[in-house]
Structure 1
Amino acid sequence: MNNTNTNQLANGLKLENLSSSTELSAEKVQDFQAAFSLMDSQSKGYVCPNDIIRIAEAADMTFAENEAQLLVGSADEDHSGGIDMREFISIMTTSINPQDLEEELRLTFRTFDKDGSGTINANELKRFVRLWDSELTETEADDMISQADPNKTGSINFNDFVEFLLQK
């Protein structure tokens, strides 16, 4: 987003058209647009199941094609076969039941905890953080991971993981 018109996204959507009942700051919309752009690497204007699989593979995660299709299908309000920016923002701003959030966080944690030990390697989390924010420097990523691993053990338990994700 350029600074001359913060109410318009690069793909032509206007900020005021994106906020439903939730008012979004220009900064938050920029964050959503950056995340969306990472998934929409070919600038198609939508994210399809193959994009979800590609991002998962880049993060050393396994995501089956049918799982990616279910994810996209559950968010594809206009049944276009992909998730556009408006649908993505809708997903990102939908209120979540606290029990559902905890379950989602546990599932996400288990994705990283490949050996089922109850901890994840701080370096794996750092690689994932760098994937999602490609402009993050190595030092910034190290700082973030040190916040997620306050005891400097090199591994992160579920509670540290949740605190890390919800700190913003």
Structure 2
Amino acid sequence: MAVNDDLKLCLLKRAFSMFDSSKQGKIEKEKVRTILNTMVYSYDDKELETLLDGEDNEGTGKLDFDSFCRVATHFLDEDDEALQRELKQAFRLYDKEGNGYIPTSSLREILMALDDQLTPDQLNEMIAEIDTDDSGTVDFDEFMEMMTGD
């Protein structure tokens, strides 16, 4: 299972909906630049402009979610450091005490947010694979390994 791709999609959906405040299914091209600034370490501005113009066939200055994904993943695929930062941030949200681990119940929430089609059995199976010592917790390295498949 390519959780890495699911995670990217989940992050992109979240970013897109944050900027699609009117819920019209479109965001301004300039907002794509803002999102990339937070998610990607560096990118070529001219290359971004070319991609944005290519996706904005009607010249509206706006992109739908699919167009946004094509532009963003073009740069995200080149920047795994950014993905690692995003994962670290997601992990910290659930590791409120800063213990360096999260309970498997939190991991279940993360997995369900990434793929709402997962059955309880599939979730249990995935968690059992990650929490091999049956401690009921997952540390950041285990979390990273699960999310990136490394």
TM-score, normalisation: structure 1: 0.51
Counterpart residue number, 1:90? 71
Q: Deviations over 1:59-109 (max 9, x none)?
A: xxxxxxxxxxx78832594653x7521212432353344544433332222
- Superposition RMSD in Å: 3.6
Does residue 109 of the first structure (1) align with residue 91 of the second (2)? yes
- SS of the residue 1:159 aligns to: helix
- Which of 26, 31, 34 aligns to 1:73? It is 34
Q: Distance in 2 between matches of 1:49 and 1:107?
A: 17
- Which of 20, 23, 48 aligns to 2:17? It is 48
Q: Which has the higher contact order (CA 8 A, sep 6+)?
A: 2
**Which has a greater percent of helix?**
2
User: 1:146, CA displacement in angstroms?
Assistant: 1.5
Q: Percent identity?
A: 22
- SS of the residue 1:143 aligns to: helix
Residue segments in structure 1 that go unaligned for 5+ positions in a row: 1-27, 41-46, 53-69
Q: Aligned runs of 1:25-36 on 2, under 5 Å?
A: 35=9
Q: Distance in 2 between matches of 1:125 and 1:50?
A: 27
Does residue 130 of the first structure (1) align with residue 99 of the second (2)? no
**Kept after mapping to 1: 8 A contact 2:100/2:140:** yes
**Kept after mapping to 2: 8 A contact 1:120/1:156:** yes
User: 1:116, CA displacement in angstroms?
Assistant: 0.8
Change (3 A) 1:51 1:111: farther
Change (3 A) 1:137 1:86: same
Q: Deviations over 1:23-80 (max 9, x none)?
A: xxxxx9xx77xx57xx59xxxxxx431779xxxxxxxxxxxxxxxxx78832594653
Q: Distance in 2 between matches of 1:138 and 1:161?
A: 19
**Kept after mapping to 2: 8 A contact 1:118/1:158:** yes
TM-score, normalisation: structure 2: 0.57
Counterpart residue number, 2:144? 162
Counterpart residue number, 2:25? none
Does residue 119 of the first structure (1) align with residue 119 of the second (2)? no
**Kept after mapping to 2: 8 A contact 1:147/1:164:** no
**Kept after mapping to 1: 8 A contact 2:32/2:68:** no
Residue segments in structure 2 that go unaligned for 5+ positions in a row: 22-30, 37-47
- SS of the residue 1:135 aligns to: coil
Counterpart residue number, 2:41? none
Q: What is the one-letter code of the residue matched to 2:72?
A: I
Change (3 A) 1:92 1:121: farther
